[in-house]
Amino acid sequence: MSEPPNHAASTKQSYSSEVGNSGYFFPHLPISCDSVLHFCHPPLSSISMVVTGYLDDCTCDVETIDAFNNYKLFPRLNELLQSDYFRYYKVNLQKPCPFWEDNSHCGMRDCAVQPCSSDEVPDGIRAGSYKYSEEANNLAEQCEEAKRLGAVDDSLSKETRQAVLQWAQHDDSSDSFCEADDIHSPDAEYVDLLLNPERYTGYKGPDAWKIWNSIYEENCFKPQNVKRPLASGRGDDGGHMFYKWLKGVCVEKRAFYRLISGLHASINIHLSARYLLQDSWSEKKWGPNITEFQQRFDEVLTGGEGPRRLKNLYFLYLIELRALSKVLPFFERPSFQLYTGNQSQDAEMKHLLLEILHLAKSFPLHFDENSFFAGNKEEAAKLKEEFRLHFKNISKIMDCVGCFKCRLWGKLQTQGLGTALKILFSENLIEKIPESGPSYGFQLTRQEIVALFNAFGRVSTSVKELENFRNILQNLR
């Protein structure tokens, strides 16, 4: 899901395309080639280093995150996400757009998603079974009791029963930051995330712009008279008015914008890192597209916006990392299992999962979420609900994305971030989780667990890809 990159007006150039012997693709930039070395590169003046230094509203710096992620967390997380429990995600890609008439679906083959056949998904996941869980056995008994007691409800009026049902649904959704798919819908299908990777699909132009414009303009608390930097078709003041407004709003609204901008940056890094470089009858070649990366993040080409976008990516990383550190008690319980039906592999993956969560907890410079929704309790509760509903609205917008692969990853990553926010704002409930037995106050569904770790996996991969781009750019100097 790629919004066309915006360029500073002063950087317009005549464009050409070339593939150098380096194996990297530089479309749209003038090419300089060494006739002796047979090496082509974009002009050195357009190459700038990736971000460094401290992040706003944080005590953490980019370098600390890079070292922690790239050499400690990323390899372990990548291994976890290869496992059966985390690679299969159930999603409904057929839901209609709830906000505008949208019949335009991307017809390009790279936009397509190949769902799993029923025999590809492990029995334990498909059956929704929790064979190894003591908690599940207790809950099964309670369900039987609930069914028995449910007979009494037949004596209630239709209106009363409907009201009770609505209250139950409200209780289930009151802590949710996302519009979750009904996984029991006939349109919901399992997708193997490893066979449908997030990468460049060619989906761009007005349809993609409409998605991001709706997210930023209608859901990020921004007044209509405040213009986003580099927004298409608008006079640009270098972002002065926008950043003056952003600096003046409360920390919660500022964080909301930075999370969305960070998610957008992460997606664009994936598209730049896994770009279609060659498409012939014999093979497809995917790899890093230096120019695509520069057009979106280079300080000069973006009028200073690129580094801000990348810093917002690091802010998103800190928020999701903090959620993982907070949710450790939920996964540490002996009754919780990553059930797929393969007992030895399930035990091994739970061990790896706990290793990752303990590693996340050990991070030395965590974001302090206690600054969120502080002060007057009534005003804080109102702001928190507004925050939740705005994000939930963004999760609904994902059903308007015309590219099915972009829709898949957009839905997964918004659900993952929404789950992270749910965790951060459920700290009191998590603290009350018993060491054994069922957790009534705080629950995560399998969908939320798979989305949470895969979404963080995407952000972690983006941080790792930045190191790759940094090395490539250094070698071109």
Q: What percentage of the chain exceeds 70 in pLDDT?
A: 76
- CA 271 vs CA 30, 179, 280, 473, 477: distances in Å: 22, 25, 20, 17, 24
pLDDT at residue 8 tops 50: no
Q: Is residue 188 part of a domain?
A: yes
For residue 134, is it within any domain?
yes
Residue 49 lies in a domain: no
Helix (H), strand (E), coil (C) string for 156-207: CCHHHHHHHHHHHHHHHHCCCCCCCCCCCCCCEEEEECCCCCCCCCCCCCHH
Q: What's residue 283's pLDDT?
A: 84
Residue 3: what pLDDT? Answer: 54
**How many CB atoms are closer than 10 A to CB 45?**
7
Summarize pLDDT for 101-125 with one digit per residue, the tens.
866 666 578 898 999 998 899 989 9
Q: What is the pLDDT of residue 184?
A: 82
Check residue 233 and give its pLDDT: 52
Res 44 pLDDT > 50: no
pLDDT at 228: 86
Q: Which residues contact 97 (CB under 8 A, 6 or more apart)?
A: 399, 400
What pLDDT score does 278 carry?
A: 87
Confidence of residue 396 (pLDDT cuts 50, 70, 90): very high
> Is the per-residue pLDDT at 381 higher than 80?
yes
pLDDT of residue 1 exceeding 90: no
User: What is the rounded CA–CA span in Å between residue 417 and residue 242?
Assistant: 25
pLDDT surpasses 60 at 129: no
Question: What is residue 103's predicted lDDT score, i.e. its pLDDT?
Answer: 60
pLDDT of residue 22: 33
As given in the structure block, the two tokens for residue 455 are: 């979404």
Work out the percent of the chain whose per-residue pLDDT is above 90.
52
> What is residue 84's predicted lDDT score, i.e. its pLDDT?
96
296 marked as binding residue: yes
Q: Please give the pLDDT value at position 182.
A: 79
Q: What pLDDT, on the 0 to 100 scale, is given for residue 163?
A: 44
Active site residues: 403, 406
User: CB–CB of 324/430 below 8 Å?
Assistant: no
Least confident of 28-42, 158-172, 418-432, 460-474: 28-42
Say if pTM beats, i.e. exceeds, 0.95: no
Q: What per-residue confidence (pLDDT) applies to 107?
A: 59
So what's the pLDDT on residue 104? 62
Confirm whether 101 is domain-assigned: yes
* pLDDT score for 344: 94
Question: Is residue 326 in a domain?
Answer: yes
Q: Tokens 């965790």: give the residue.
A: 423
Instruction: Count up the domains in the chain and report the number.
Output: 1
Q: Model confidence at 17, in pLDDT bands (50, 70, 90)?
A: very low
* Tens of pLDDT, residues 228-283: 887 655 556 678 889 999 999 999 999 999 999 999 999 999 999 999 998 887 78
Q: For 140-181, write each residue's pLDDT tens digit.
A: 444 444 433 444 344 445 554 444 444 344 344 457 788 777
**Over 90: is that where the pLDDT of 374 sits?**
no
Q: Does residue 345 form part of some domain?
A: yes
Of the listed ranges 55-64, 343-352, 439-448, the least confidently predicted one is 439-448
Q: Report residue 46's pLDDT band, with 50, 70 and 90 as the boundaries.
A: very low
Q: Report residue 136's pLDDT band, with 50, 70 and 90 as the boundaries.
A: very low
Q: What is the pLDDT of residue 416?
A: 96
| 161 labeled part of a ligand binding site | no
The average confidence (pLDDT) of the chain is: 81
Q: What is the pLDDT of residue 441?
A: 81
Q: What number is the average pLDDT over the span 80-93?
A: 96
Q: Provide the pLDDT for residue 183.
A: 80
2 part of a folded domain: no
* Structural domain containing residue 302: 54-222+237-475
**Is 212 a known ligand-binding residue?**
yes
Does residue 11 surpass a pLDDT of 60?
Answer: no
Distance separating alpha carbons of residues 268 and 293, to the nearest angstrom: 8
Confirm or deny that 199 is annotated as ligand binding. Answer: yes
Mean pLDDT of 82-106: 87
Residue at 305 is within a domain: yes
343 pLDDT more than 80: yes
